[in-house]
Amino acid sequence: MKNFPRTGLEYYATLLFVVFLAQPAKAQDQYTRVEIGGQFSTVRQSGSSGSAINYYGYGWRFDWNFNRRFAFESQVDFFPQDATRRFLTQGGKTAEAVFGLRAKVIQTRQFALFGLVRPGLFHFTNVLDYGTNPANPVITRPATYFTLNLGGGIAYYASPRWVFRFDIEGNPFRVPNDSVSSQGVTLRAAGKIEDTTRLSFGVAYRPGELRENESETKVPGRIEGGPLFSTMILAREGSSVGVRTEPGAGAYASWRFYKVFYLDGDALYFPRDTNNSGPHDGGQIFQGLLGVKGGIRRNHFGIFGKARPGLNSYGQALASITSVPGGGTSYGYTRSTNFVLDLGGIVEFYPGERSTLRIELGDTHIYWGTRNVNDNGVIIASDGGKLRHSIQFMFGYGWRF
């Protein structure tokens, strides 16, 4: 991992020193509709030896504040260094553009702790790919992928106009399936869900009319629950389909056990089958998650971070392969249950006194265990342990009590 340039450290140390010299008493008693700023950013990608490297860049940010806590935020960053070229997943110069919601979970007169949920796009100028010319089977090309930017940060309000902030975010992104046909031969590459980490250090100015912070009211309700619909984007093992979006349905429940912390869980069923299976994954999926969400509910909105362990249970994982007389093959299947960890954010809207519209976004980390396959009497171990990512969206309607 590379270190920050010394000049960058000196610049931000000087900047923070100047900020902390200014100590206005009421920096957050007012806000404006608009914030415009810039930032220095890093994005973590793979180097030529497979080790992780931070690539440096810069960009701009625009916010439209709905009220003192919630804002629509857009951010664009450009990383001019040439990253190592890898098959489909990265290479060349990198750009990222994200658009979504920023919400202050903890807020004092000068500091705020905020969460970010921002879908967007990753763009790479030179990823490796198959070529159609047999004399040149591997080419480079630009690629743009969907990403889900999840994270948070700390903001310091030096005055009602000036804001300094630090962000850290995870960026799972979808690499789609790829195929190229050349001279009657089709080359296929299964897609995947990749992930990277980004840091940003920025400053923003708030032009326009200064507005007094409105009063806030808490949202009633200790227990809630309701139906839930989900889409999960993941790479299926052993499936010729590769990366695909699985639709599912189920229910959620939430119970506030201490101030801003809730015991929160989902139960979901994804009914679509796969046309073939691997040792860990195949067939329909049942997902159960139970953990903690933490955040605030104010007026008609709520935003939460979530960390929920659970399981993905696959109904038709490959268990055995048996050759039959006449040259055929028989396959045996069994259930495979694997640990998962759901990390991300939850946004809630409260259209009525007891009703909730709920949107969940997250990166569901999947950890496969070691599985054995009986291949004509020979036990073959299929290693697990490797982390796989999936991008998950959930939409629900619930009732609070």
What percentage of residues in the chain have a pLDDT greater than 70?
93
Q: Smallest Cα–Cα separation from 254: which of 225, 227, 226?
A: 225
The answer to whether 88 and 189 are in contact (CB under 8 A) is yes
Q: Quick check: 188 pLDDT over 90? A: no
Q: What is the pLDDT of residue 326?
A: 82
- What integer pLDDT is reported at residue 6 of this predicted model? 39
* Amino acid sitting at position 148: L
- Cβ neighbour number for residue 335 with a 10 Å cutoff: 13
Tokens of 334: 């069994």
Mean pLDDT over residues 221-246, rounded?
A: 92
Express the helix, strand and coil content of the chain in percent, nearest 5 each.
5, 70, 25
- For 75-107, the pLDDT digits (tens) are 999 999 999 999 999 999 999 999 999 999 989
Q: In this predicted model, what pLDDT tens digit does every residue of 236-294 receive, in sequence order?
A: 987 778 899 999 999 999 999 998 999 999 999 999 999 889 999 999 999 999 999 99
Structure tokens belonging to residue 297: 């509910």
What is the DSSP code string of 71-116? EEEEEEEEEEEEEEEEBTTEEEEEEEEEEEEEEEEEE-SSEEEEEE
Do residues 266 and 398 lie in contact, with contact meaning Cβ atoms separated by under 8 Å?
no
What is the signed CA dihedral for 229, 235, 241, 247, rounded to 10 degrees?
A: 0
pLDDT of 318 over the 80 cut: yes
pLDDT at site 137: 87
Residue 2: per-residue pLDDT: 42
**Where do the domains of the chain lie, and which CATH numbers do they carry?**
1-214 (2.40.160.20), 216-401 (2.40.160.20)
Q: Which of 359, 354, 386 lies closest to 370, judged by CA? A: 386
Least confident range from 2-11, 156-165, 317-326, 380-389: namely: 2-11
What average pLDDT score do residues 303-312 get?
A: 96
Query: Looking at residue 42, what is its pLDDT?
Result: 97
pLDDT in tens, 1-36: 444 343 444 433 443 433 334 344 456 788 999 999
User: How sure is the predictor about 327, in pLDDT bands with cuts at 50, 70 and 90?
Assistant: confident
Across 279-298, b (16+ Cβ under 10 Å) vs e yields bbbbbbbbbbbebbbbbbbb
CA atoms within 13 A on the CB side of 113: 8
Specify which residues 95 forms β-bridges with: 78, 123
Q: What is the pLDDT of residue 26?
A: 57
Under 8 Å between Cβ of 62 and 84: no
pLDDT tens track for 32-67: 999 999 999 999 998 877 789 999 999 999 999 999
Give the Cα separation of 144 and 401 in Å (integer): 44
Given this model, what pLDDT does residue 235 score?
Answer: 93
The residue behind tokens 């073939």 is 276
SS3 at position 54: strand
Residue with tokens 């980390």, as numbered in its chain? 365
pLDDT for residue 16: 40
Q: What is the mean pLDDT of residues 220-236?
A: 96
**Exposure b/e, 225-261, CB count within 10 A at least 16 = b:** bbebebebbbbbbbbeebbbebebebebbbebeeeee
What count of residues does the chain have? 401
Question: 110-166, pLDDT tens digit by residue?
Answer: 999 999 999 999 999 999 999 888 888 899 999 999 999 999 999 999 999 999 999
**In the prediction, which pLDDT does 380 show?**
93
Q: Which H or E element spans position 20?
A: helix 6-21
Distance CA 122, CA 376 (A): 45
